[in-house]
Chains A and B, each alone.
Chain A
């Protein structure tokens, strides 16, 4: 069982709609949490860090629930360019190596 789990999707989302998905982690000592976006055969691009208080960056909102050990990502007013795989990443020590989930695929349709 992976330490970081995500629903692989795909989430098929009409343009302009809202989509949300979660990522669960098993290690209660996990320290830092991130969402990355990865397009096919390209590098993961940092979307946002996830803080205990939750954070928002434009159309993207991330939340952390330490009690239930999950993080979430919500995308509002979806654009065609939001189509990608969204990787959840977690660190469990201060040296910072990332443990990734398998990714959630989002497909935004016209």
Chain B
């Protein structure tokens, strides 16, 4: 079965540079989540998108932005990189259904292999 695809798998950047991470969700999944996992830590939610609109926002620095495109793939843009941004960045995808007007149900999330970002 097709899984979540992330690129690149590894990225080395210097401080103050920019980086773009890409995520291609499982086919027919309309919801994408981004998580950051630092060394020895659990994944922390950054931001999510449903049907190309931002659906939720977590502890994402202002230096980071993200979007979801018409083909449902998502990109996380990171600027003015800092040493502390070195981490694994995971994208997860799921499907979301409308329960009744104004509410929704999201289903299990499946994670991509991650992008390992090293800032030097």
Contacts and interface: CB of A to CB of B under 8 A. Distances in A.
B59 to A, nearest CB: 11
A45 B58 CA distance: 22
B43 A100 contact: yes
Contact of B106 (A44, A45, A95): A95
**Contact residues on B (Cβ < 8 Å of other chain), bracket:** 20 to 34
A55 interface: no
B56 A95 contact: yes
Given A41-B88, A43-B90, A103-B42, A94 B108 contact: no
A87 B48 contact: no
B112 interface: yes
Nearest to B96: A96
Interface of A: prevailing SS: loop
Nearest to B42: A100
Contacts of B88: 41
Nearest to B94: A96
B25 to A, nearest CB: 13
B113 A42 contact: yes
A101 B104 CA distance: 25
A96 B113 contact: no
A22 interface: no
A45 B45 contact: no
Interface of A: 34, 36, 41-46, 49, 87, 91, 93-103
5 contacts: A94-B103, A94-B105, A97-B45, A97-B48, A102-B41
